[in-house]
Amino acid sequence: MTDPLAIIIEDDPQLSHIFCVTLQNDFHVEPILDGTEALIRLSQVIPRLILLDLNLPGVSGTDLLASIRSDARLKETTIILCTADNRQANAIQEQADYVLLKPVSPVQLRQLASRLR
């Protein structure tokens, strides 16, 4: 059986790598560093999980979240917001399935994601 797809949309290369390593045992992970690139890729695939930073170059994480939620193909996709901005997260948390505030514990992320597999 093929591992489900998790797309990591995080513009910090170091954090993106940490998130990818954290999830690679349960998912096929695909890192994306830019909101515009993420929007293009999400038109091509249906991931099981999206780990989404809110502050991205190109298309913002907030706009990406709205786009994902309006796409019927992605209605079963779980979205985990990862952000350092508590106020921004609180404003849109109802649109996401989970919100993790940075710094995100890899153990916490792994435990959450393994339940979503």
> How many whole angstroms separate alpha carbon 89 and alpha carbon 47?
22
Spell out the domains of the chain, with CATH numbers in brackets: 5-116 (3.40.50.2300)
Kindly report, residue by residue over 28-57, the tens digit of the pLDDT: 999 999 999 999 999 999 999 999 998 899
Average pLDDT over residues 56-82: 94
Strands 49-53 and 78-83: parallel
Q: What average pLDDT does range 13-23 have in this prediction?
A: 95
Instruction: Classify burial at 58, counting beta carbons within 10 Å of its beta carbon; exposed 0-12, middle 13-18, buried 19 or more.
Output: middle
pLDDT in the model for residue 1: 56
Give the pLDDT band (50/70/90) at residue 86: confident
> What dihedral do alpha carbons 104, 45, 66, 48 form, nearest 10°?
-50
pLDDT for position 12 = 94
Tell me the pTM.
0.92
Handedness of CA 37, 38, 43, 45 (dihedral sign): positive
pLDDT at 9: 97
